[in-house]
Amino acid sequence: MQQVKNFINGEFVDGADGKKFDKRSPLTNCVIAQVSEAGIADVDKAVRAARTALQGEWGRLTTEQRVGLLYGVADEITRRFEDFVEAEMVDTGQPRHVMTHAFIPRGAANFKVFADAIKNVPSESFQMATPDGRGALNYAIRVPKGVVGVISPWNAPFLLMTWKVGPALACGNTVVVKPSEETPLTTTLLGEVMNAVGIPKGVFNVIHGFGPNSAGEFLTQHPLIDAITFTGETRTGTAIMKAAADGMRDVSFELGGKNAGIVFADADFDEAVDGIFRSAFLNTGQVCLGTERVYVQRPIFERFVAALKLRAEAVKFGRPDDKNADYGPLISAEHKQKVLGYYAKAVAEGATIVTGGGVPNMPADLADGHWVQPTIWTDLPETATLVREEIFGPCCHLRAFDSEDEVISMANANDYGLSTTIWTTNLACAHRVAARVEVGITWINSWFLRDLRTAFGGSKQSGIGREGGVHSLEFYTETRNICVKL
Ligand code: NAD
């Protein structure tokens, strides 16, 4: 049985009280690893190690030296690519191609992109007049925030964790990372990379455990944490924000979504079907940017529903290394129960089930895994639970619309505001709609095209702040103004 340890001050260690929890395979529900749970004393040790590291060798490196080390981290991830792919497949049960094309390369890129960004960031400088005529020079330097608490989810574990650790380290901070209890492996592996590259001890620490009354909460409540960056559910973000209020710690939150896909009748039909299909079902629907509400203009509504149904019914499930498998299982028994709870609610609320609604037949060796069918509904009112709440499974609801104003008002009638996709060949219409939909990210005739230099984040209850490019640098640094009389 694989043993997964915390990584504190450059060493892999068990928790002081020896507590462990099981990591189960999403494919079979069998226990595949035992993970050391960090208690309050271990979290304290990790945070203090991170604080000491700030004042040590790491804090004295020049930007160029830090950048060199982070390039080394990216190169070492690439050298151990297969180890990361394997670990992420074991943790998530998702297909190899998702790991090799997206999750792991993006992890390496997160170190390079922000190393480049910090090298090129300008700083402001103003000449001031003074009453005696000598003048003064006012300029700003960027300093690291300090020790950053990083709390990440399970749905794209390595990509989302490094999206925070990359810029935090590039800016000269030190970090204590609490990965999801569901996906402990790749974050732990990153500890080996940090040691191999020569990142000083204490700069990168990993503590394992759960949220409330466990490592997550202990981390957010620790008084020596200077800032918290979190990706996960909105209600978890609310709890973390309350903890961060003590001590006035800054937060950056990337939270849930209930994203609308808007398909106009003049869209390239096949491209729109393909885009909505991918955005609803990729990663078995476990993508914050996924589309769970689809609005299709009335003249093509029936044809669109039929085409999407065909695509959903052709989905094949299987093990990560099964070349015929499109998708894997949901992450956990608990999440499967939650998604199936929504499937049952759809029936109770009067939805028409276009396809799916249950669990697929799987071979005996995978029968206990967390599989659910891709599911499509129609005919629910906008007030239905299914249309309002984030499900985070392979499913979507479709509704016909007539006018631009009508669809904008339906897209905006939701507490979340993460992303939207607009499908049309009328670019004037696309730009008009994009400007009025209340979200942080809009894709036109595309989905999930990401340039890491651009702003990423949600409006309304989908987040606080923006990350990516200079926006990450803003969060992970503090500007210090210095005024010198000439
Ligand atoms: P979650 O909120 O349950 O857990 C996320 C992390 O927070 C885990 O590491 C968990 O252990 C920790 N945690 C839970 N309670 C805590 C507490 N009280 N204090 C401190 N830490 C705590 O989320 P999840 O189920 O892992 O992830 C799915 C959610 O993440 C979905 O809502 C999805 O939309 C969202 N998400 C958002 C983005 C984005 O960029 N906006 C990206 C990916 C996922």
Of 313, 270, 305, 299, nearest to 423 by C-alpha is: 270
C-alpha 392 to ligand 1 mean position (Å)? 12
CB count within 10 Å of CB 478 equals 16
Per-residue pLDDT of the chain (486 residues; tens, 9 = 90+): 899 999 999 999 999 999 999 999 999 999 999 999 999 999 999 999 999 999 999 999 999 999 999 999 999 999 999 999 999 999 999 999 999 999 999 999 999 999 999 999 888 999 999 999 999 999 999 999 999 999 999 999 999 999 999 999 999 999 999 999 999 999 999 999 999 999 999 999 999 999 999 999 999 999 999 999 999 999 999 999 999 999 999 999 999 999 999 999 999 999 999 999 999 999 999 999 999 999 999 999 999 999 999 999 999 999 999 999 999 999 999 999 999 999 999 999 999 999 999 999 999 999 999 999 999 999 999 999 999 999 999 999 999 999 999 999 999 999 999 999 999 999 999 999 999 999 999 999 999 999 999 999 999 999 999 999 999 999 999 999 999 999
Q: Which residues, other chains included, contact 62 with Cβ-Cβ below 8 Å and sequence gap of 6+?
A: none
DSSP code at position 467: B
Distances (CA, A) of 141 to 121, 166, 244, 402: 11, 20, 25, 53
Distance CA 126, CA 484 (A): 11
Q: Is the CB of 390 under 6 A from ligand 1?
A: yes
Q: Where are the domains of the chain?
A: 2-255+462-485, 259-453
Q: Which two tokens stand for residue 26?
A: 């999403």
Task: Kindly give the pairing relationship between strand 463-464 and strand 250-254.
Answer: antiparallel
What are the beta bridge partners of residue 252? 229
The pLDDT value given to residue 1 = 87
Tell whether the torsion through CA atoms of 362, 368, 369 and 370 is positive or negative.
positive
Q: What is the DSSP string of 319-353?
A: -TT-TT-SB---S-HHHHHHHHHHHHHHHHTT-EE
Distances (CA, A) of 165 to 62, 112, 369, 372: 19, 12, 31, 33
Same fold for the pair 2-255+462-485 and 259-453: no
Residue 429 falls in the annotated catalytic set:
no
Q: Is the CB of 216 under 6 A from ligand 1?
A: yes
> Which residue shows structure tokens 């299914």?
386
**Cα(252) to centroid of ligand 1, in Å?**
13
pTM: 0.96
Q: Which atom of ligand 1 is nearest to the CA of 209?
A: 11
Are 398 and 304 a contacting pair, CB within 8 Å?
A: yes
The dotted CATH code for 259-453 is 3.40.309.10
Contact of 159 with 107, CB cutoff 8 Å: yes
pLDDT of residue 438: 98
E strand or H helix at 92, and its extent?
helix 81-92
Choose among 299, 251, 300, 253: nearest CA to 276. Answer: 300
pLDDT attached to residue 211: 98
198's tokens: 């020569």
Tokens of 187: 């974050």
Measured in Å, residue 437 CA sits from the centre of ligand 1 at 25
CB of 440 shorter than 6 A to ligand 1: no
- How many whole angstroms separate alpha carbon 75 and alpha carbon 79? 6
- Give helix 63-79 / helix 104-120 axis angle, nearest 10°: 170
Which of the residues 171, 288, 395, 396 is marked catalytic?
288
- CATH pick for 2-255+462-485 out of 3.40.605.10, 1.10.10.10, 3.40.630.10, 3.30.360.10: 3.40.605.10
